[in-house]
């Protein structure tokens, strides 16, 4: 499940942000770290997949992909390579992997670049508030540069940080890590089949396509293609 809005469920809870608060949530901190570390493997394998799709398998193609930090640019490069070399089932599998990669890349970016805080609730070690830096900045501007003192009701209901904040649950972060690990397996199997074609590797890829995450992604890809 994606993160949920802080309001209205936690409207009565105090919300604070600062670098010291994550130490109060070791399980959350560990889950965030695992997601960030795991994603590096997904990105690395996507670079190898580009090399295999380009039928280059060169250090240069890997280096080029890893230098592209913007997902839109990465996607354009990957799709251009796939358009030139992949057809049929292989193209469907590649697009299904790319679809998952794009969704998880966005989730990873939020976790890596968002700001985590603390909410005064009973299960505070199982949930963590999150906010985009721009929204937290707006809150500070409202408080310190508006020239207008805030009432208690304003602080409770109208601060930008309360309106802009969301809540991650521990199990949301654990699911994100699991999704990344599942994608890594699919990437690795498909790369192996492209780089070292064999019946055994092809069978492994076909079996992987039956897993829930790949089956769902393939269904989305084929549905979108049928509309075009």
DSSP per-residue letters across 57-99:
--HHHHHHHHH---HHHHHHHHHHHHHHH--HHHHHHHHHHHH
d(CA 47, CA 63): 8
pLDDT of residue 134: 83
- Residue 170 CA, chain-centre distance (Å), reads 15
* pLDDT tens digits along 157-200: 456 678 889 999 999 999 999 999 999 999 999 999 999 999 99
**167 membership: H or E segment, kind and range:** strand 166-169
Q: Where do the domains of the chain lie?
A: 4-227
Residue 55: what pLDDT?
77
So what's the pLDDT on residue 61? 74
CA distances from 67 to 70, 75, 90, 163 (A): 9, 13, 26, 36
**b/e map 201-210, b = 16+ CB within 10 Å:** beebbeebbe
| Predicted local confidence at residue 148, as pLDDT | 59
Q: Which two tokens stand for residue 69?
A: 């930090």
Phi first, then psi: what are they for 45, rounded to 5°?
A: -70, -30
Q: Which residues make Cβ contacts (< 8 Å) with residue 14, sequence separation at least 6?
A: 119, 120
Tokens of 94: 């590649």
- Closest by CA to 36, choosing from 102, 100, 99, 113, is 113
Q: Residue 164 has what pLDDT? A: 87
Which residues in the chain show pLDDT less than 70? 1, 56-58, 138-160
Structure confidence at residue 59 (pLDDT): 73
């Amino acid at each position: 499940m994606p993160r949920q809005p802080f309001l209205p469920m936690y409207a009565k809870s105090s919300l604070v942000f600062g670098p010291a608060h994550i130490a109060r949530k070791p399980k959350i901190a560990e889950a965030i770290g695992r997601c960030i570390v795991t994603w590096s493997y997904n990105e690395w394998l996507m670079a190898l997949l580009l090399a295999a799709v380009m039928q280059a398998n060169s250090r240069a193609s890997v280096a080029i992909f890893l230098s592209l930090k913007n997902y839109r640019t990465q996607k354009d490069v990957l799709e251009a390579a796939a358009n030139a070399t992949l057809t049929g089932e292989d193209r469907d599998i590649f697009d299904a992997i790319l679809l998952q990669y794009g969704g998880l890349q966005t989730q990873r970016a939020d976790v890596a670049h968002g700001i985590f805080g603390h909410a005064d609730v009973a299960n505070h070690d199982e949930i963590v508030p999150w906010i985009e830096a721009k929204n937290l900045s707006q809150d500070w501007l409202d408080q310190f540069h508006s020239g207008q003192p805030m009432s208690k009701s304003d602080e409770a209901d109208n601060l930008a940080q309360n309106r802009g904040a969301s809540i991650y649950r521990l199990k949301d972060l654990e699911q994100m890590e699991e999704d990344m690990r599942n994608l890594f397996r699919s990437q690795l199997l498909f790369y192996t089949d492209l780089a070292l074609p064999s019946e055994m590797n092809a069978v492994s890829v076909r079996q992987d396509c039956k897993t829930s995450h790949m089956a769902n992604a393939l269904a989305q890809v084929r549905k979108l293609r049928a509309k075009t």
